[in-house]
Amino acid sequence: MKLTKSGIDALTCPPGKRDVMFSDSEVTGFAVRVNATGSKTFLFNYRFAGKPRRLVLGKYGELTLAQARKLAETARGRVLAGGDPVGEKKAQAHAYQAQIAEQAAQASANALTLDVLIDRWLAGALRDRAASYRRDAPQRIRYALPDFLERPAHSITQPEVQARLDDIAEQHPTTARRLHAYGRAMYGWAVKRSLVSENPFAGAIVEGREVSRDRALTDLELGAYWRASGLLPYPFGPLFRLLALTLQRRSEVAGMKWDEIAPDLSTWTVPAERSKNGKAHIVHLSAPAQQVMAGLLRHTDPKTGAISPYVFTSTGRTPVSGFSAAVKRLEALMIEERTGHPTTSQKIREKKPSALQAQEGWRLHDLRRTGVTVMARLGIGPHVADRVLNHTEGTIKGVAAVYQRHEFLRERAAALDTWAAYVLNVADGVELEPTVGKVIVLKR
């Protein structure tokens, strides 16, 4: 039948049938399907590659008869030209869906800025890492790459990373190597999780190799350090002395809290969240260390009046800071003792910490190496010295390390007692003769 509007309006589905199709006599393949509910749909039927095909043109009401017939004529033209309207429609739908998915993926990738990636890395891969690594790695990346933080992480290129590493390495090669290691680890994790496709740090290089420091203070320097620290007021004077007596890391001593100290001042427990290896560490406090602790007062927050939890604090609310100025003063006092020429406050302010340390050639961290070196000379076992420094991967390795869980607490206490006696003796100008198992005091 020739399909007309009045004719389509009058069409119904015979009783007992789900639907019925009526073909148009003017355009071959054009038809309207009427189902039992009264819904009417325009169709175009054709054959492609010997198989019947049916193209849905649209519902009657949404399309007029004239519009549907025109669509059918266009589809017939494509069929006569060798086309497949149904296949083309599916391809277009798939292409559109792919485009939408690509746009969504691109939007998601762009939303993953470097700053967000650092947070994801911290919450994921770094979740079980040592507290010091969790703190240091994100801080170094953010500090070194401030201009990249708001950029999509995938947009950062290897040449950009290399240029930044080169700039940093000119003045601070060790910092550049740390940044390279942290960035490469973070992006490597992100690549494995398909967050980014490439690791811009993987192909970057930092010239040269890292040379481990081997600087240890001489007895004269150690004695000068102890005497000079005694001239400094709270908080740095006693803090510097505890650094020497306990051989713990600067950040750990600076962040010491009163509730970490035993009531009798015999031990200090560095909590897992503040230790570099993420494990709680018991530090024996020798008699000189206990004397330092006994001379300290509890401080309060000047604003609230609340008692500060920190042993060393300037504000009452946060651990002590400002080590650069304090180290300059300590260095100046040591230089004064050696040269006999007082260093004025103005000269101290004019000197950069790097210049002062270059004159002396040592750093606070070298105290740890100094202590272990002396312990070896005094016959203290390296496995005990490792435990004193909270080095879990030290002289005991391999299978033995797996089964060796003894903490050597008694031996560590004896080692720190011996070391403290050594410090006080060299500070008093007494020379110690290294002997296995004991210390013989010799007058100069």
User: What CATH superfamily classification does 5-106 receive?
Assistant: Integrase, DNA-binding domain (3.30.160.390)
**pLDDT tens digits, one per residue of 290-329:** 999 999 999 988 888 889 999 999 999 999 999 989 999 9
Strand partners, 40: 34
CA distances to 41, 46, 50, 79, 84 from 54, rounded to whole Å, are 12, 6, 13, 12, 10
Where exactly are the structural domains of the chain? Answer: 5-106, 114-192, 219-442
pLDDT at 354: 40
Position 337: which residue type? E
CA distances to 104, 231, 340, 389, 391 from 403, rounded to whole Å, are 52, 46, 55, 20, 16
Contact 390, 279 (CB under 8 A): yes
Nearest to 105 by CA among 147, 141, 152, 164: 152
**pLDDT tens digits, one per residue of 386-429:** 999 998 655 544 434 433 446 889 999 999 999 999 999 999 98
pLDDT greater than 60 at residue 356: no
One-character DSSP codes across 103-159: HHHHHHHHH-BHHHHHHHHHHTTTTTS-HHHHHHHHHHHHHH-GGGTTSBGGG--HH
Fold that domain 219-442 belongs to in CATH? hpI Integrase; Chain A (1.10.443)
Fold that domain 114-192 belongs to in CATH? DNA polymerase; domain 1 (1.10.150)
Nearest to 57 by CA among 83, 92, 33, 28: 33
**pLDDT tens digits, one per residue of 103-140:** 787 777 788 999 999 999 999 999 888 777 888 999 99
One-character DSSP codes across 311-346: SS-SSSSS----HHHHHHHHHHHHHHHHH-----HH
Backbone φ and ψ for 260, nearest 5 degrees, come out as -90, -10
* % of the chain with per-residue pLDDT over 90: 68
Cα three-residue angle 159-163-166, rounded to 5 degrees: 135
